[in-house]
Structure 1
Amino acid sequence: MTRGTTNPNRLRRMDRWIAAVHGAELRRVDDPVAVDLGYGAAPWTALELLQRLRTAAPRTRVVGIEIDPARVAAAKPYEREGLGFRHGGFEIPLHRRPQLIRAANVLRQYDEEAVAEVWSRLCARLAPAGAGSRGGLLVEGTCDEIGRRHVWVALGPEGPRTVTLATRLGSLDRPSDLAERLPKALIHRNVPGEPVHAFLRDFDRAWAAAAPYASYGARQRWIRAVRDLAADWPVVDGAARWRQGEVTVRWDALAPLPRP
């Protein structure tokens, strides 16, 4: 069971990214289901997820799943059309496979060695890929208490796809400040010799080189730094997302090296 901290708007960056990049996939389904896994001591994140996903896919339903029965009971009065709460965990106790599972700040207390098994278990519960569909999406990551800094991994039924870093640019000193919010699969690998360490090092260098753009605002500096970073790293999004204080990179470029 997590500590359950659920400040309102804490997960807004992740939610908006999901709506932007996965909205079309949700719209292809007649009755799309999204799961807020481990929503915590209060149901705010599930309510917000429903609101934000419905801007992109109005038929979306959200189910909040918690391992603590008392938290489920406390959330029941907030149920409404399109929103429900259930007791459960990584088994995802639904009769159908969801198009989305969001697991924010859930794996932070687990050992790194447990992550691959949890990912595999959750990915197996996603809606499968089909004609014209890449299948469901698992978004797993970590953020600070008020959602200013956030890093998450996006996975499909086949496994991890991308890593996204998202931040409130006005609070950023340098990109490597986001290292403390790396998800469990990466946070212990931010050491020399590991790809994620090299990525953050190069990002800091690009940020420093883009300092002249700071006179136009932190957003323009970030955009320039990411544009330079993309010359050496497989950045998969574009300026529309960079303007939001985001950058998304292919997972295989940052994946941890095998342990000796």
Structure 2
Amino acid sequence: MSRPPKSHGRKSLRPTLTPRSLMDEAETLARAWQVRIVTLFPEAFPGVLGLSLTGKALQEGRWQLHTHDLRHFGIGKHRNVDDTPAGGGAGMVMRADVVGPALADAQQHARGRWPILYMSPRGQPFDQGMARDLARCDGVTILCGRFEGVDERVLEHFQVTEVSLGDFVMTGGELAAQAMVDATVRLLPGVLGNAESIADESHARGLLEHPQYTRPATWEGRAIPDVLMSGHHGEIEAWRRAQAEALTRSRRPDLWSKLEQKD
């Protein structure tokens, strides 16, 4: 028998509310964006997602986090979740008859547009565009792999999309999943206090973000650029745009090339 998934964040109603408010909040909680994590290490969550703005939004019920422990679906007395690769080779592979039932359990709660993602170094690169798209979904299920990977038949059966944070390999998908969820949750309505910060940050317009400054006006002999202290908003905007373009050209020529192609 599998155990119920472990959940984080607020899923109960405050008894002090009026009946109408109770109904409104129940509807809000039911519609909240959800992420379901299928993992061998549910204790890794919420991790950093329980801190700062994402943690506050989790407690407020703006999004929900549920973990599904793969070990509960393990085979035999020792709850085995992996076996040797078919055809030989190093390492171990996560079994289809373990991962499959775990994903099926998670997907019982899916509604609307709800993709299944697998954190994998061979997956498509995760970027800001994908984060925006996930934020528009009703929820997402994320499979965190371990060992040499997951039996391919599971990925095919559930039409899983493989996603990568970059051209490197980690010991498991948990940290990568947290990074992806963080990038998505901050785009949900009401999570960030200032919506303009999303529009101006790196990758929002295909450019890296311009340099930022604050007090003191001079530090270690370095002064804030005069234009930022001028109060002339048009000149400030032009300066920031020029800085963003220069940074993108020098640090991310791949992004700059895409912008030039659009023009």
The answer to whether the superposition gives a TM-score over 0.5 is no
TM normalised by structure 1 equals 0.29
Determine which structure has greater relative contact order: mean sequence separation of CA pairs < 8 Å that are 6+ residues apart, divided by chain length: 2
TM normalised by structure 2 equals 0.29
